[in-house]
Amino acid sequence: MATHPDAVLVAGAGGFIGGHLMAALRADGIPVRGVDVKPVDEWYQRPEGCETWQLDLSEKGACERAVDGVGEVYNLAADMGGMGFIESHRAECMLSVLINTHLLMAARGSGVQRFFYASSACVYAADKQESPQVLPLREQDAYPAMPEDGYGWEKLFSERMCRHFLEDFGLQTRVARFHNVYGPYGTWNGGREKAPAAICRKVLEAVFSRDHRIEIWGDGKQTRSFMYIDDCIAGIRMITQADSPDPVNLGSSELVSINELVDIVEGIAGVSLDRRYRLDAPQGVRGRNSDNALIQARYGWEPSIALVDGLRETYRWIEAELARERGLQPALGA
């Protein structure tokens, strides 16, 4: 198939970020091919007019089929989830290196012009994240290397591979380090969900059951920043088309504790819950925030959607999903 310079491949299109990216690209009239290992009827979104393929991109031949005829690749495909998942599935997370390796090889062979890789703040050195009052993480803090065991090592290795494919073969690679992306049409139960979705679900379960208790993993003092999906998609597209190949943080700099996150969701729901702290549960590093100096200097931009606004949209979507699952009517929050 001849390469269409405007056509793009979204790898991991059946997932949360991939589904939103596919929808945004197609809305702008861009020909989109979405690929995921999951059956197509299990994808979070299937925008009209997109190609939707089920392929296992850990296999080299599948990657060669997937990139055939496209000019750009967005690699969002990985075996991952929230902290509860990545701390107990380290080998599975590391096997995602096969996806990026084979996609890079296939992209080089087929004449792909640009290749975006979705990395993670989990690449950052753990000794810089030991306090809830953490200093924001700068891009250079990834070295000396001491990333999150398993998932973080895979991300850091794949970043380096993107760099060397640019240096050795001229493939224009771009890398963004995501900081906790959240929003509607994402995982909200089952163990792979991240903190914003988990907290929304737990608050909603308390509302629906009228048992006003909530279990919080850790002591609630651990801190994070959370980026709404619309900001993430805008950042991905901007970074992919830019000139600089060096990894850049893509995350909000609005730091909150998990307790403060619960406060916000309780305010949206109009409830106050009895908090039960599970100190033996996975909770990751004590503090993590995005230093946005580089993305501001390089692009004059950074994520800007306030956490309370993004959480309100996320809460309402999960509320509708949970109500539908239970055959109930949503009791919309404030």
HEC states along the chain? CCCEEEEEEEECCCCHHHHHHHHHHHHCCCCEEEEECCCHHHCCCCCCCCEEEECCCCCHHHHHHHHCCEEEEEECCCCCCCHHHHCCCHHHHHCCHHHHHHHHHHHHHHCCCEEEEEEEHHHCCHHHCCCCCCCCECHHHHCCCCCCCCHHHHHHHHHHHHHHHHHHHCCEEEEEEECCEECCCCCCCCCCCCHHHHHHHHHHHHHHHCCCEEEEECCCCCEEECEEHHHHHHHHHHHHHCCCCCCEEECCCCEEEHHHHHHHHHHHHCCCCEEEEECCCCCCCCECCECCHHHHHHHCCCCCCCHHHHHHHHHHHHHHHHHHHHCCCCCCCC
143 is a catalytic site residue: no
Of the residues 151, 182, 228, 315, only one is catalytic, namely 151
Catalytic residues: 151
